[in-house]
Structure 1
Amino acid sequence: MIGPDDERTRELGVEFGPLARELEEHQYPATSDELAERYGDAVLGLPNGEQTLRELFELVPDERFESAADARVAIFNTVGDRAIGRKGYSDRTPPALGEREEWPHESF
Structure 2
Amino acid sequence: MRLNELGDVIARHEYPTSSTDFVTQYGEEVIELQNGDETVAAILSRLGDETYTCPQDVLDSLYTGVGHEAIGRRYYSDRDPTSFGENGPQQVSF
Q: Same fold (TM over 0.5)?
A: yes
4+ residue runs of structure 1 moved beyond 3 angstroms? none
CA-CA distance at 1:80 after TM superposition: 4.7
Identical-residue share of aligned pairs (%): 25
Instruction: Report the Cα distance in structure 2 between the residues aligned to 1:65 and 1:100, rounded to whole angstroms.
Output: 51
Q: Which residue does the alignment assign to 1:15?
A: 2
Q: RMSD of the alignment, in Å?
A: 2.0
Gapped runs of 5+ residues in structure 2? 79-88
The answer to whether 1:83 aligns with 2:34 is no
CA contact (8 A) 2:43 2:67 kept: no
Shift of 1:97: 5.5
In 1, Cα distance between the equivalents of 2:90 and 2:9? 52
**TM-score using structure 2 length:** 0.76
Q: 1:30 aligns with which of 17, 27, 45?
A: 17
TM-score, with length taken from structure 1: 0.67
CA offsets per residue over residues 17-63 of structure 1, 9 Å max, x none?
11110001101111111110011110000011110001111222321
User: Aligned residue pairs: how many?
Assistant: 83
Structure 2 Cα separation of the partners of residues 55 and 46 of structure 1: 13
2:85 matched to which residue of 1? none
> Which of 41, 60, 70 in structure 1 is aligned with 2:57?
70
CA deviations on 1:52-106 (whole Å, 9 max, x unpaired) are 001111222321111111111111111154321223265xxxxx956326xxxxx
Q: Give the partner amino acid of 1:54.
A: A
